[in-house]
Amino acid sequence: MNKIYNYFLLAAGLLAAGCKKDFLDRKPDDQMTEQQVYSDYDKVNKEVTDLYGDLHSRSRGLAFLQNFSLSAITDECRGSTVENGESRTYNTGGWNPSTQPGGGFKWSDCYSTIRVTNLILEGVRKYKTPDNPQNPGDLNIRLGEVYFMRAYYHYLVARLYGEIPYMDHTVDPNGSMNFKRESFHAIVEKICKDCDSAIALLPVAQPDVQFARADKGAALALKAIVRWMAATPLYNGGTLPNDNRVGKAEYTTRNDQRWAAARDAAKAVLDLKLDNGQPRFTLYTGYGTTDFVPGSNGKVYSRLFQMFYDFKAFQQEACLMNMNDKYEAWEGDNYPPSEGGGSRQQPMQEQVDEYEYIAPDGYGYPVYGPNAVADGYDDANPYEGIKRDPRFYRDIIYHGATFRNSIKNTADGSDKINATNSTTTGYWLRKYYREDYRPGNGVGFQIHFALIRLPEIMLIYAEALNETGGASGDIINMLNTIRARSFMVPVPPSIAGDKAKTNDYIQRERRIELFYENKRWFTARLYLEPSSPDQLAREQAWLASGADNDSRAQNYWPYPRCQNMVNGMRPVEDEVNGKITVGGKKYRMQRFYVAQWVFASPTHYFFPIQQEELGRDPALQQNPGW
């Protein structure tokens, strides 16, 4: 019988199993035969556990691209030039099938893990792996986790590349290597089938000692996400320029049943109950209206910070977790220079503009709405001159913000815009940051990252209801429930029954609630924003609004969502009209243009399949534009 070590190393790409954490890479286990491995529950359990370890490279959280998050290649954040400026390689159009900075999350990486899932499933069947003698029933749970992982890793490939081959069996290295891509809708059905297999075997919730392993809720949530993706314009009624995808004919006509399927899948997550009859998932509501993060001048609610650190929050609303995603030094990389940081990723004005203001009537409205100025919004005093969504103060450090008991100044000193290692947009990240840490102060901790959170599913449900003629009261209630958890006021009742206005609030809520969680790159593409007629028309209007880019940045906003520009906000000293006092001086804020980015349609809607993968599999078709 062949050694299992050799069995795993017979191929690359779709056949690869180059997972560094794989037990087959270590002695003495690498000398075991297949039968010895799959005849032992403990060894199979270890293999399943290693599938979760792969999440640290296949589905990174805070540093998706290895050194930057996906926010740095969207209209959420601008990345700095450290680490060879890998995020800017994407933003300037410098990536191609041969050059794609970052690693661990690409085509061959994910398929190597998928191959391991197939080996486990087939090995357990072939050698009739015995159950855990200490806790009968564990083997079925482990198999359920493997079915989930096979579905999840296919999802990771599909959301980057679109159409993919679905590998539900191990491949004979001496057999055919022609693996053709299938339509996205065919892939969704196969992902859902694997999720159903997982649901049949998994508990509603894992015990605390197995926390962060997949359960029924994780599998149901994954089904909801892929059903939602299949219902969005990229795959359901939209038009992609110069489209040559395999399933093009399935994508150009809208099918309302896809929205109905997304609605029902999301509802199944929301309806899931524990054995005691209580909901499996609930929004975290620890701390109250008088609890604030120390050092934030009463601006950052403790609840909004603790939801990313309190274990109760993970238990209540995390559908899938990536534990120990990063350690504390990551925070220092992103702090302002005055706090020993390097401003690695800087929020853009495009993102800041999405945080609503709270109007005198007690409801939330966009700062670019028709009533904003009349309600008291002043773009020269946009942060504390009027109440903004509390999540704004949790997410963003701005000129005049109090962070770690220090008022940040982007006009002077080490934190000045464009100073060494400082911001280029006028902002720094704050979401996830602990106020008690500073580089070198001896405080150590791990940061855990929720790959899927309950609000994402709630927003899918609200949107699917809106798209299928659901009751407006149910839609608004879902939005207001998410907002209330964050101490944000409700949406205005006037949007009830108006599908377009309701959709605007849903999309804005998604952008705020899921900011910096690696969602925006995909969402912008799923809705075909960069090449939509509306956004292209806005881009032309922006270009016509001034003689130079700074003038345009000040005259025309909100900015077009074509992924082609970066804008910021800088303080201008003004002793007469300035309303923001920092360092004894008065300032007014002024928009400015930062940089141009490159987004080519249809090229940048998907990652290109690496050139070496195309060489290994002649049946693969490259993505549009590449």
| Rounded-to-5 percentages of helix, strand, coil across the chain | 45, 10, 45
Residue 203 lies in a domain: yes
Please give the Cα distance from 515 to 144 (Å, whole number). Answer: 31
Stronger pLDDT, 552 or 614, i.e. the higher one: 552
CA dist 535 and 285 (Å) reads 37
- Weakest mean pLDDT among 9-13, 16-20, 570-574: 9-13
Domain around 115? 4-64+105-214
H or E element that contains 153: helix 138-161
Instruction: Return the pLDDT at 1.
Output: 36
* Within a domain: 407: no
Measuring CA to CA, which residue among 176, 39, 194, 184 is closest to residue 114? 194
Is residue 401 within 8 A of residue 393, CB to CB? The reply is yes
Examine the pLDDT at 540 and tell me if it is beyond 60.
yes
> What value does the mean pLDDT take over residues 158-162?
98
Domain membership flag for residue 151:
yes
Contact at 8 Å (CB) between 427 and 352? yes
- 222: tokens are 């994954």
pLDDT of residue 372: 98
Phi, psi of 522 (to 5 degrees): -80, -40
Q: How confident is the model at residue 617 (pLDDT cuts 50, 70, 90)?
A: confident
Residue 171: predicted pLDDT: 87
117 occurs within a structural domain: yes
% of the chain beyond a pLDDT of 90: 89
In one letter, which amino acid is 362? G
The alpha carbon dihedral of 90, 96, 100, 106 has a sign of positive
User: What is the percent of the chain where pLDDT is above 70?
Assistant: 95
d(CA 237, CA 527) in angstroms, rounded, equals 10
Residue identified by tokens 């896809």 is 258
Where does the pLDDT of residue 437 fall: very low under 50, low under 70, confident under 90, or very high at 90 and above? confident
Q: What is the mean pLDDT of the chain?
A: 93
pLDDT digits (tens, 9 = 90+) for 117-142: 999 999 999 999 999 999 999 999 99
pLDDT in tens, 43-62: 999 999 999 999 999 999 99
Q: Is residue 59 part of a domain?
A: yes
Do you find a cis peptide bond into 203, omega within 30 degrees of 0? Answer: no
Q: Which residues contact 335 (CB under 8 A, 6 or more apart)?
A: 341, 342, 343, 428, 433, 438, 439
Span 236-247, pLDDT tens digits:
999 999 999 999
Q: Is residue 168 part of a domain?
A: yes
Indicate which CATH number applies to the domain containing 162: 1.25.40.890
Instruction: Provide the domain count of the chain.
Output: 1
- The predicted pLDDT at position 355 comes to 99
In a domain, 586, yes or no: no
The dihedral built from the CA positions of residue 291, 62, 523 and 80, taken in this order, carries a sign that is positive
Exposed/middle/buried for residue 401 (C-beta within 10 Å: 0-12, 13-18, 19+):
buried
The answer to whether residue 113 sits within a structural domain is: yes
pLDDT digits (tens, 9 = 90+) for 477-526: 999 999 999 999 999 999 999 999 999 999 999 999 999 999 999 999 99
Is pLDDT at 587 greater than 60 in this prediction?
Answer: yes
**Looking at the predicted structure, is the pLDDT value of residue 301 above 70?**
yes
